[in-house]
Amino acid sequence: MRAFTAKILLAGLIPGLPCLAQNDTCPTSICETIKSELSGKVEYPDTAAYIKTNTYWSARQDLMPSCIVYPTSPEDVARTLWLVTNSSSPFTVKSGGHTAFDGGSSIQDGVLIALENMRNISVSDDRGTVSIGPGNRWINVTQAAEPYGIAVVGGRSPLVGVSGFLLGGGLSFLLGKRGMGCDNVRNYQVALASGEIVDANPSSNTDLYWALRGGAGSSYGIVTRFDLEAYPQGNIWSRLSVWPTNSSESVLHTFTKVTREKMHSGLDPDAHMMFGMSYAGGAPMDPIPTVFQFHLNLNSSYAPGGEFDTHAAFQETALPNAMSNTTEVLGISATIYRTTQGGGGFGDRESWYATSISDGPYSDAFMNKVQAAYAAWAGDLRAKMTARGDMLNVTMVFQPLTNPAFEAMQRNGGNALGLKPKEYPSYIVSVPTTWNLKANDDFVDGSVEAFVNQLDDMAKTAGFGHGYEYMNYSGKFQSKNGTVIASYGKENQERLREIAQKYDPNGQLRALWTGYHKP
């Protein structure tokens, strides 16, 4: 590690080591070296292509890569990876560019490998597999699959990239039945630091196949194609209901009850729910609408007001006093657009943070304490942000992890996340926030971290602690300090380290691929 750092600092001053940026003292930058081999596929700052690519969901990626490389084939990726590692040049990789914190999707003064020109999508003749290039966004994969009457276990938001999503786990509408996105990858084609291109699947490079299912991509190689398992799929029924704050206890009670009795039990693994409490706009202490979202993996013959409204899983959720209640039956692509249009992005600064809690038979008192702690913290932080001349929107989201999902995760030798079936369901808890001013980045990260630590302590004390941190919702400090992979358990962390060592024996990816989540 130290040797590489030294080389980075000396780059350009030692003959034979390419520079990061081209200038008088540094005539052959790594960018020029790549350009000489990948002709027409390298862009420098201020070109239209560079500016378009260097745009991200979170305004915190306001960094300037030395150049952007646009590979169009697995061979281009492998060659670029070999060139940057051989010259000890810092680099990172962009798929959909949806990481919240700075440096997650981009790099200052280094090489950005942008996968946006690798967007092939092909459906197998038997409709059982969809092969996708790593630069795709979920909307395009979903729209390509839909005409065949199939769906993959993919994103619920249109512009999220396939690579980050699949390599960190992947929570989809099909979570309850199929596990995470990573549990439904048949094969990864991967470019290694050595310049080799290999396949990882249940029969070859099985250790790499295991590591890529949740272990973060950036320690092993760049995935150049994902072959995804596909399933027959009709339309989705969904309902978004919003209640005023004073209903939140009964809504949360119903949410946990339905999760336990209908989903965790296996009675209706097609059901999918999220619970969120959101402060957005308005005065700091304005009421928090409480949101319930349901999605059912069923077929278009069901219509609003029909059979579905009394569906076993959700009949208990028709609680009184809803402020709004929107029910729709749409294809997955249209559902993705309808349910996820709100929520900031492309211009706002963003911080996410993840933890999880376990449920139990008598969790109402604990859940109510969590809500109260959240409301107190969020109101206080919003007031502080107003005093700092900024505004902050904040949501706390619970997403159930149930036994049918845990069981699906054990397929093909299991994934790297270390999650197992349990007596009671668990909830992934995330706390996404958005604000406007760069000067408040550290302030918000610190405040969110303190709140999540408080929540973890409360959970531990009350016997509802869990520990798992979902990588793709994690915060900057969690990612940097390595707490996410540590949360997979010591044994899995050790195994991930060994696999990284095997496929990247000189530690070049761990040293040079900036960003986060190294085992």
Ligand X SMILES: *[C@@H]1O[C@H](CO)[C@@H](O)[C@H](O)[C@H]1NC(C)=O
Ligand Y SMILES: Cc1cc2nc3c(=O)[nH]c(=O)nc-3n(C[C@H](O)[C@H](O)[C@H](O)COP(=O)(O)OP(=O)(O)OC[C@H]3O[C@@H](n4cnc5c(N)ncnc54)[C@H](O)[C@@H]3O)c2cc1C
What is the contact surface with ligand Y in residues (CB under 6 A)?
Answer: 57, 92-99, 104-105, 115, 134, 155-157, 160-161, 163-165, 167-171, 217-218, 222-223, 345, 472, 515
Other CB atoms within 10 Å distance of the CB of residue 213 = 28
Q: Which one, 305 or 361, has the nearer CB to ligand X?
A: 305
Instruction: Report, in Å, the least distance between residue 126 CB and ligand Y.
Output: 26
CA angle 249, 353, 54 (to 5 degrees): 130
Range list of β-strands (E), 56-184: 67-69, 91-94, 111-114, 121-123, 129-132, 150-152
Cβ-closest residue to ligand X? 168
Residues 6+ apart with CB under 8 A from 44: 31, 50, 66, 67
Q: What is the closest distance, in whole angstroms, from the C-beta atom of residue 95 to ligand Y in the complex?
A: 3
Q: What are the beta bridge partners of residue 68?
A: 43, 112
Q: Verify binding: residue 58, ligand X, rule CB under 6 A.
A: no
Q: By CB under 6 A, is residue 28 in contact with ligand X?
A: no
In the complex with ligand X, which residue's Cβ is closer, 301 or 386?
301
Cite the beta strand spans of 331-484 per DSSP E. Answer: 349-351, 354-358, 393-401, 426-430, 433-435
Helix, strand, or coil (residue 357): strand
Considering the complex, what minimum distance in angstroms separates the CB of residue 441 from ligand Y? 17
Interaction residues for ligand X, span 443-462 (CB under 6 A): 449
Q: How far is the CB of 360 from ligand X (least distance, A)?
A: 25
Q: Which is nearer to ligand Y, 96 or 475 (CB)?
A: 96
Q: How far is the CB of 116 from ligand Y (least distance, A)?
A: 10
Single-letter residue type at 384:
K
Q: Please state the separation of Cα 147 from the chain's center in Å.
A: 26
| Residue 412 makes contact with ligand X by CB under 6 A | no
Q: Which does 493 bind (CB under 5 to 8 A by kind): ligand Y, ligand X, none?
A: none
Provide the mask over 1-20, with x wherever binding to ligand X is found by CB under 6 A and - wherever it is not.
----------xx------xx
Distance CA 453, CA 274 (A): 22
Count of other CB atoms within 10 angstroms of residue 63: 18
| From the list ligand Y, ligand X, none, partner contacted by residue 118 (C-beta under 5 to 8 A by kind) | ligand X
Binding flag, residue 437, ligand X (CB under 6 A): no
241 binds ligand X (CB under 6 A): yes
By the 8 A CB rule, do 55 and 45 touch?
no
Q: How many residues bind ligand X (CB under 6 A)?
A: 65
Say how far residue 63 (Cα) sits from the centre of its chain: 21
Distances from the Cα of 107 to the Cα of 87, 315, 425, 426, 505, angstroms: 17, 49, 38, 35, 24
**By CB under 6 A, what part of segment 256-295 binds ligand X?**
280-281, 287
Tell me if 386 contacts ligand X by CB under 6 A. Answer: no
Contacts with ligand X in 352-381 (CB under 6 A)?
352
Looking at 159-260, list the stretches that DSSP marks H as alpha helix, in order from N- to C-terminal side.
162-168, 175-178, 206-212, 248-258
Question: Could you say whether residue 391 binds ligand X (CB under 6 A)?
Answer: yes
Residue whose pair of structure tokens reads 């490079």 in the numeric block = 205
Which CB atom, from 155 or from 276, has the smaller least distance to ligand Y? 155
Beta-carbon contacts of 368 under 8 Å, excluding residues fewer than 6 positions away, are 249, 252
Taking a C-beta distance cutoff of 8 angstroms, is the pair 399, 427 a contact? yes
CB of 233 to ligand Y, least distance (A): 16
- Residue from 8, 35, 44, 120 touching ligand X (CB under 6 A): that is 120
Binding residue (CB under 6 A) for ligand X from 52, 457, 481, 498: 481
Tell me: does residue 393 bind ligand X (CB under 6 A).
Answer: yes
Tell me: does residue 517 bind ligand X (CB under 6 A): yes
* Cβ distance to ligand X smaller for residue 24 or 126: 24
Query: In angstroms, what CA-CA distances link 223 with 74, 132, 135, 187, 471?
Result: 9, 11, 10, 10, 18
> Using the rule CB under 6 A, is 493 a contact of ligand X?
no
Q: Where are the beta strands (DSSP E) in 221-270?
A: 222-232, 236-243
Return the number of the residue (224 or 247) whose C-beta is nearest ligand Y: 224
Q: State both tokens at 266.
A: 């296996």
Residues that bind ligand X (CB under 6 A): 11-12, 19-21, 23-26, 73, 86, 88, 99-100, 104, 118-120, 133, 139-140, 143, 149, 164, 167-168, 216-218, 232, 234, 241, 244, 246, 280-281, 287, 299, 301, 309, 318-319, 322, 325, 327, 344, 348, 352, 391, 393, 434-436, 449, 471-472, 474, 477-479, 481, 483, 515-517
